[in-house]
Amino acid sequence: MLLNEENIRKLIRESLEAIGTGSGSNNTTRTADNSDDEYSGVDLPDDDKSMSAVDKNFRPIVEKIMGLLKGQGFDPILGSAYRSPKSQQDKIDKGYSKTKTIYGYHVALDDQGNKAARAVDLVNRGDGWSSTKAAFDFFEALGKISNSDQFKDRVEWGGNWKQKKKTVGGKEYFIGWDPAHIETKSVSMSQSAEITKKGIVSLKSQDK
């Protein structure tokens, strides 16, 4: 099996699900209040994992968290930020995303139609989503920062969702199914979808 992002995510998810059930957030299947059909009729941009594709209000938080991780000796990079609808649907189909709508926090625009991801995946350079102690040490550090008093009201960490015990390299971790993921708490998924809808309307008007 090639160790690309999708296969690595699958291995992590399967290994976590194979180990006992822990307590964690039930917030693993989330919906926006809008029908995806409302967003048809315009081609949205392709995937973009650059910082410029992150929502301008969420970006400083992501940068601060990355800075704190660097201070602990890690080398964080954006493994994922803005996603196209096609890419997000593929991740839903394969079980990598548990949202019921394409238009959530990754497939997100601002009201002018610019890419504005309100969720990112952070991974350690060279480790990615691998089932290694180095990768899980990074995810554990990301979780501690995200759940700290400084950030707990501003970001949600995917490692909080359905946490399970996992032993990697002789170390025990208690971690949820999406440990690379952080998303904003300042905008709900429904609000994000509404902003994206306005952005798509703006894009449509630009195409005329």
Res 192: pLDDT: 95
Res 30: pLDDT: 57
C-alpha to C-alpha distance for 59 and 43, rounded to whole angstroms: 24
The band of 117, judged by pLDDT with boundaries at 50, 70 and 90, is very high
Q: Could you read off the pLDDT of 58-107 as tens digits, one per residue?
A: 999 999 999 999 999 999 999 999 998 887 777 777 776 666 667 789 99
Give every CB contact of residue 63 below 8 A, 6+ residues apart in sequence: 51
Mean local confidence (pLDDT), 13-21 = 41
Mean local confidence (pLDDT), 129-143 = 97
Closest CA to 55 of 190, 203, 183: 183
Contact assessment for residue 65 and residue 155, using Cβ atoms and an 8 Å cutoff: yes
C-alpha to C-alpha distance for 199 and 147, rounded to whole angstroms: 31
Res 164: pLDDT: 94
Mean pLDDT score of the chain, rounded to an integer? 83
Give every CB contact of residue 149 below 8 A, 6+ residues apart in sequence: none
C-alpha to C-alpha distance for 30 and 53, rounded to whole angstroms: 22
